[in-house]
Amino acid sequence: MLAVEVKNIKKTFQSKQAIVEAVKDVSFEVKKGEIFGLLGPNGAGKSTTILMLTTLLQVTGGSAKILGYDVSSQDKLVRENIGVALQDTGIDNLLTARELFFTTARLWGYSKEDSNKRTEELLELVGLTEAADRRVKTYSGGMKRRLDLGLSLVHSPKVLFLDEPTTGLDPGSRRVLWDEIKRLREGGVTVILTTQYLEEADELADRIAIIDEGLVVAEGTSDELKASIGGDVITFAFDTESDQKLALKVLTEGVQEDNLIRITVEDGARKIPQYVNQLTENNIEVSSVSASKPTLDDVFLKVTGYRLEGAEAKDSEIEEVNN
| Sites of contact with another protein (CB under 8 A) | 51, 54-58, 76, 79-80, 82, 84, 86, 88-95, 99, 103, 105-110, 114, 135, 151, 155
Measured from the CB of residue 9, what is the shortest distance to another protein in angstroms? 16
70/319 with CB nearer another protein: 70
Measured from the CB of residue 108, what is the shortest distance to another protein in angstroms? 5
How far apart are alpha carbons 162 and 35 in whole angstroms? 10
Measured from the CB of residue 258, what is the shortest distance to another protein in angstroms? 37
51/208 with CB nearer another protein: 51
How far apart are alpha carbons 208 and 231 in whole angstroms? 20
75/180 with CB nearer another protein: 75
Measured from the CB of residue 79, what is the shortest distance to another protein in angstroms? 5
Measured from the CB of residue 35, what is the shortest distance to another protein in angstroms? 20
**Is residue 265 classed as helix, strand or coil in its secondary structure?**
strand
Measured from the CB of residue 39, what is the shortest distance to another protein in angstroms? 23
**Quick one: which H or E segment has residue 233?**
strand 232-238
At 115, the amino acid letter reads S
The dihedral through the CA atoms of 91, 92, 97, 100 has a sign that is: negative
User: What are 25's strand-pairing partners?
Assistant: 215
62/220 with CB nearer another protein: 62
126/198 with CB nearer another protein: 126
The dihedral through the CA atoms of 313, 316, 318, 323 has a sign that is: positive
Query: How far is C-alpha 127 from the geometric centre of its chain's CA atoms?
Result: 24
User: What are 235's strand-pairing partners?
Assistant: 262, 290
How far apart are alpha carbons 235 and 228 in whole angstroms? 18
61/109 with CB nearer another protein: 109
> Which segments of 141-223 are extended strands (E)?
159-163, 190-195, 207-212, 215-220
Residue among 222, 242, 312, 309 nearest 282 (CA): 242
**Is residue 33 classed as helix, strand or coil in its secondary structure?**
coil
Measured from the CB of residue 14, what is the shortest distance to another protein in angstroms? 10
25/99 with CB nearer another protein: 99
Angle (nearest 5°) at CA 314 between 311 and 316: 155
At 234, the amino acid letter reads I
